[in-house]
Amino acid sequence: MEILAYGVQADERPLLERAFAGRHGLRCLDVFLNRDTAPLAARYAAVSSSVNAVLDAETLAVLADGGTKLIAQRSTGFNNIDLDAAALARMKDDAILVNSSRGGLVDSAALVETLRAGRLSGVGLDVYEEETGVFFTDRSIHGITDDVLARLVTFPQVLVTSHQAYFTHTAVGQIIDATARNIDDFAAGRRNENTLVPTHT
């Protein structure tokens, strides 16, 4: 697959190139994705955007008309995305939605209705906004009591992986390393970039 990455910073470029090497073609741009730069993505099935992208209805329409099927945003924020336009208004019926960053990015009830209308050919969810008590526990006896999640998993084009994207040697190793460093820094009386400090008003 050919991927067009927008808003790529100098430190990101080698990481992106290494991540996709031998698997997907990658073109990196330093301009941010918005309604003016969206035409550059014509004929690219996938684009990757940064938190500085403006994914409003017009930008999404230009991407969809140009053949883009997937927007992979390199951030966990979503305030720059017109979710209604992305889910319903102008994207093509064969679009695929993937969320592996955090729950709450997707209105799951609206997603069910979008799937029922046949407007998505695939959905991959590694997170779910009401996942507390659902993932990381054995539910084989009790079953799923969340009606929206139960409806989602009945669609043949939906895959819910219950945070399995998190369980990689790299991800778990990085979390453990950061945890150990946080404890070491605390014991030594140091603060690091992971220290949460309350703001005073």
Q: Are 63 and 20 in contact (CB under 8 A)?
A: no
Catalytic entry in 131, 151, 181, 190:
131
pLDDT at site 31: 96
Q: If you average pLDDT over residues 78-84, what whole number do you get? A: 75
Q: Are 73 and 49 in contact (CB under 8 A)?
A: yes
Q: Are 63 and 53 in contact (CB under 8 A)?
A: no
Please compute, for residue 140, the number of CA atoms within 13 A of its CA located in the half-sphere on the CB side. 1
Between these two residues, 25 and 162, which has the higher pLDDT value? 25
Handedness of CA 87, 92, 93, 94 (dihedral sign): negative
Residue with tokens 């990101």: 12
Summary mean pLDDT of the chain: 81
pTM score over 0.75: no
Nearest to 113 by CA among 88, 92, 93: 88
pLDDT at site 98: 72
pLDDT at residue 44 greater than cutoff 80? yes
Give the DSSP H or E segment for 165.
none
pLDDT at site 93: 62
pLDDT at residue 86 greater than cutoff 70? yes
Nearest to 72 by CA among 166, 4, 153: 4
> How would DSSP label each residue in 127-163?
--TT-TTTTTS--TTT----HHHHHHTTSTTEEE-TT
Lowest mean pLDDT among 102-111, 161-170, 185-194: 161-170
Is 2 tagged catalytic? Answer: no
β-sheet with 120-125: strand ranges across: 95-99, 120-125, 158-160
- Determine the Cα–Cα distance for residues 199 and 201; give it in Å rounded to an integer: 7
Catalytic entry in 27, 102, 119, 129:
102
Is 129 tagged catalytic? Answer: no
pLDDT at site 134: 65
Give the three-class secondary structure for 79: coil
Between these two residues, 195 and 167, which has the higher pLDDT value? 195
